[in-house]
Amino acid sequence: MQRNGQRRDYGLGSALDVSLAEAREAATALRRRVREGFDPVAERRKARKIVPNFEAATRICHETLREGWKGGHHAKWLSSFEKHVFPKIGKKPVDQVDSACVVEVLAPIWLEIPETARRILQRISVVLDFAHVKGWVPEEVSLRSVRKGLPRQNDKRGHMEAMPYAEVPALMQKLAGASPTTGRDALRFTIYNAVRSNETRFAVWSEFDLDNGIWSIPGERMKAREAHIVPLSAPVVALLRKRWNERTSDTGLVFSHNGEKPISDVTMTKLL
């Protein structure tokens, strides 16, 4: 029979099992359905296709895309699903996840932890786009309507509170007289160089040229993904030379007790 100008042959079963009258009746019914837009070949392919549940699709998506993410982003990405999403829709076939399902997931956290909820919404969209590309979801799923099914968020996002610059000299003097711990050195180093704490915590000795007073941070460690050169002041070079004399590895982490495990943010902030 013809569908969209294209000839297609459809089997109705073995002649040993289907009588002529039954075959004619089935052919008439099939022609009627094809005229209404039904595509038997597409339906058979769909029936044969194995569609994973949402959790499995998410984990495959995560494993495929994680190499392009930096730092610990991939771990946070997956943990947010494990905590907030999988318990509700993880077992649902991914091709059955729609806006209503996403609203159900986000409703309990939309106002309680708004920033996390917005990130999860974006991450679910990534998974559904990935599932569409893989052929598990026949049509692209738009989640633009999800926000219309949730109350308006009133959280005001802004910069974190900063210390007035006039108070910094007193803080640096206080730190200079504090016990010489790794956390203290890391905090002083961070302030001297005006860098993010992660850039300090994951700094390794191979990035430093102490003779020329240069710190070369590779692009993969920077938020903008571009290499960054930091000129080091005399106090910073002195601090680093002291730590170099106490190092456990020539290539390990600078601010670490063993050169392998980085200190936490709390180790520095508790000194403030």
- The residue among 162, 186, 175, 173 whose CA lies nearest residue 242 is 186
Q: What is the pLDDT along the chain (272 residues), one digit of tens a residue?
A: 566 666 666 666 677 766 777 767 777 776 777 776 667 666 666 656 689 999 999 999 999 988 877 655 667 888 899 999 999 999 999 999 999 999 999 999 999 999 999 999 999 999 999 999 998 998 888 898 999 999 998 866 555 677 888 888 999 999 989 999 999 999 999 999 999 998 999 999 999 999 999 999 998 888 777 889 999 999 999 999 999 998 988 889 999 988 888 998 888 888 88
**Euclidean distance between CA atoms 106 and 56, whole angstroms:** 20
Residues 163-167: contacts with CB within 8 Å, 24+ apart? Answer: 163/272
Q: Quick one: pLDDT at residue 241?
A: 96
List CB contacts of 225: < 8 A, sequence separation 6 or more: 70, 219
d(CA 224, CA 160): 20
Does residue 153 sit in helix, strand or coil?
coil
Q: Give the CATH architecture of domain 165-269.
A: Orthogonal Bundle (1.10)
CA–CA dist 68, 226 (Å, integer): 14
Query: What is 54-149's CATH superfamily?
Result: Tyrosine recombinase, N-terminal domain (1.10.150.130)
- Within the chain, which residue ranges are assigned CATH 1.10.443.10? 165-269
**Strand runs labelled E in 85-233:** 208-209, 214-217, 228-231
What per-residue confidence (pLDDT) applies to 219?
85
Confirm if 186 and 268 have CB atoms less than 8 A apart. yes
What is residue 220's predicted lDDT score, i.e. its pLDDT?
A: 83
Query: CA 52 to CA 231: how far, in whole Å?
Result: 52
CA dist 181 and 188 (Å) reads 11
| Other CB atoms within 10 A of residue 234 CB | 8
Contact indicator for 62, 73 with CB cutoff of 8 Å: no
Residue intervals of the chain classified under CATH 1.10.150.130 are: 54-149
Coil/strand/helix, residue 217 = strand
54 within 8 A of 130, measured Cβ to Cβ: no
Return the SS3 of 117: helix
CA-nearest of 22, 32, 94, 30 to 58 is 94
Nearest to 51 by CA among 140, 143, 134: 134
Tell me if the pTM is above 0.95.
no
pLDDT at 98: 94
CA dihedral 55, 61, 64, 67 (to 10 degrees): -100
Where are the alpha helices (H) located in 135-258, listed in sequence order? 168-176, 182-193, 197-201, 234-245
